[in-house]
A and B are shown apart, each in its own frame.
Chain A
Amino acid sequence: QVQLVESGGGVVQPGGSLRLSCTASGFTFSTSAMHWVRQAPGKGLEWVAITSYDGNNEFYADSVKGRFAISRDNSQNTLYLQMNSLRAEDTAVYYCAKEHPGSTGALDYWGQGTLVTVSS
């Protein structure tokens, strides 16, 4: 069965950096586009970034562009999110999600999420 397991969350000071990981299993990771979505405490969902199946294309939300970088290692079935220059408003649960094979953009499986807290 499809499994996505995020890790790397924690508490970081404003201006700091953190790298999230998402380990995938149960599907062909190397042929799936992958996304990050976040949810601030008590708030709605916010799409963050996508990487194409081969890592050659990526897009970002305006709120994280230039600060966050999505990447992947298909040999390790792992997705990453490098987060730099973190701000208080980046505090959220971060989910990784795989793209539906039959519908570009639809997110058919999600991880359980990892909490990032930006605070001094």
Chain B
Amino acid sequence: AIWMTQSPSLLSASTGDRVTISCRMSQGISSYLAWYQQKPGKAPELLIYAASTLQSGVPSRFSGSGSGTDFTLTISCLQSEDFATYYCQQYYSFPFTFGPGTKVDIK
């Protein structure tokens, strides 16, 4: 199975900050990567798929980049509603796997 690391595991930031979360794969996955946002007590929500395609309805301050083994989620101007945990997921190889998560909290 493909495993992944996310860094940082915890990110303290302020509203208006530009934040970047990294996801690194144990092997190449082309662009078969998704990013999800999860708030406490809620289901994950898809933000980005195919590494860089913004899901319909997701604000444009979210963006994704990368291919192969290294991927990045960027929030250009952090809003109060963006404080949450973010997960990457690969769907290139069976079984599908998720990263351990990055919690973005208030500085």
Is B one of A's binding partners? no
Instruction: Identify the B interface with A (CB < 8 A).
Output: none
